Every structure is written in C-alpha cells, then in structure tokens.
Amino acid sequence: MNSGKQARTRSRPIGILGGSFDPVHHGHLRVAIEAHEALDLDHVRLVPLHTPSHRNAPQTTAEVRVEMLRVIARAPIEIDLREIERGGVSYTVDTLTSLRSDWPDVPLCLLMGVDSYRSLPSWHRPKEILRLAHVVVAARPGSYDHDASGLDEIIGSAQADTVDDLHDSIAGRVFFLDIPLLPIASSELRARRAVGRDIRHLVPDIVNDIITDQGLYMA
C-alpha cells in the first residue's frame, strides 16, 4: 500500500559536532543524541579541534581531551581526530572538505548552537560551509532569529522545513532543531573546578574520574 510519502533512497546523513571538548560534558552528548534521533542520522562524529580561530587555546592537551572523548564514545557517537591530526588552526570549512572527500554522496549535517549560528558570517569562508554540508541549529523553541548581520547573504532561502529536506540533498540547507538544551559550558566547568566546586552532575562519571585523577582545571 502506497502511503503517499516517497521512500528515502540516499544514505542517512552524518552529524558533525565540533568543539574543544575541554572537557566534554552532558550538554555535548545531549545535542548529539537528540540530533541523531530527531534527524534520523546514521551517526554523529565529535570532532575535537586542534587550535581554535575565535577563542583561547584549550587548557588541556589534545591527548587528554581525546582520552575524555574516547571513554564516552559509543554508538551513535564516534570520535573523529582529523583536526587534531592536521594540526594548526582548525577551520570548519577545511574539516568539511575532508569529510566530503570521504563521503562524497552522503548528506552531512553540521550541528551548532544559536550563538555559533549568529556568528557564522565571521567564520572562515562561511559560504563554502553550506556548499559542503547542511547547517543544523540546535536551540530552544523561539530562541533564534535571522537578524544577525550578514546571515541573510549566507543563508538566503536555504532554510529547510522538514527533516526529509536534509535527507534529499547532501548539503545547502539550514534546519532549526527545537530541543531542550542543557545550559552547560566547558568554560563554566573549568571555572567551577578552579575554585574547588563539584562538577560530577555536569559530566559523565568516567570523564569526571579522569578530571579528578589527573587534577585537571585546578587553579
């Protein structure tokens, strides 16, 4: 019986979530898992950066950040070390170019929060990002707008209305994913540790064990 909805023939999209992960916390995992389920993604790749272009360098070494990621990595989450291995300043457009060479015919969904979305015009070669991937903005309902300077020039009429839009093409759409985000930032966790406050409720237990055993983020 024909339901009237055309069956998907393209491979399921891959989610991409970049960041310093210094440390990885429940907020990161919430976005990855919610996006995987809501968007019917194949999996979500966490991509730790090497050197950021818009913020201070990570407080811990790449080796420690990767260790924290590896202990929480299980389906549907995978760890992608291409930015660490490439070295230098980590630009999203370079990472997406590399990912696109690995998956030339698979939709890629770049996951980001509202603040990152609003700052997109200041990113390195921002127009190329939409030529390489979809942009998925994870946000609370009603917490985003389209008024940030320069966004219209980049986004244009690319907004996707349905999840199917992300499956039907490999790149070029912007989708707003309404999910209940956890108000956690890695910088706040580091600040809590620096003054001796507990962060056990904000990171996975096994990550907290690494942080505690190695005395990370202490003043």
Asked if the model's pLDDT at residue 3 lies above 80, the reply is no
Q: With 80 as the cut, is the pLDDT of residue 6 above it? A: no
What mean pLDDT value characterizes the chain? Answer: 92
Question: What is residue 76's predicted lDDT score, i.e. its pLDDT?
Answer: 97
pLDDT for residue 179:
86
pLDDT at 150: 74
Predicted pLDDT at 1? 39
Query: Are 119 and 54 contacting, i.e. CB atoms less than 8 angstroms apart?
Result: yes
Query: Phi and psi of 163, rounded to 5°?
Result: -60, -35
pLDDT digits (tens, 9 = 90+) for 99-120: 999 999 999 999 999 889 989 9
Can you give the pLDDT at residue 214? Answer: 97
Is the peptide bond preceding residue 126 cis, with omega within 30 degrees of 0?
no
Measured over the CA atoms of residue 214, residue 216, residue 218 and residue 219, the dihedral's sign is positive
Res 147 pLDDT > 60: no
pTM (predicted TM-score): 0.92
Contacts of 211 (CB under 8 A, 6+ apart): 23, 68, 193, 199, 203, 217
pLDDT classification of 205: cutoffs 50, 70, 90: very high
Q: How many CA atoms, within 13 angstroms, populate the side-chain half-sphere of residue 149? A: 1
Mean pLDDT is highest, among 50-59, 75-84, 155-164, 182-191, for: 75-84
Q: Count CB atoms within 10 A of the CB of residue 153.
A: 10
What is the mean pLDDT of the segment spanning 187-216? 97
Pick the CATH number of 14-213 from 3.20.20.80, 3.40.50.620, 3.90.79.10, 2.40.10.120: 3.40.50.620
The residues spanned by each domain of the chain are: 14-213
What is residue 4's predicted lDDT score, i.e. its pLDDT?
A: 43
The DSSP annotation for 168-188 comes to HSSS--EEEEE-------HHH
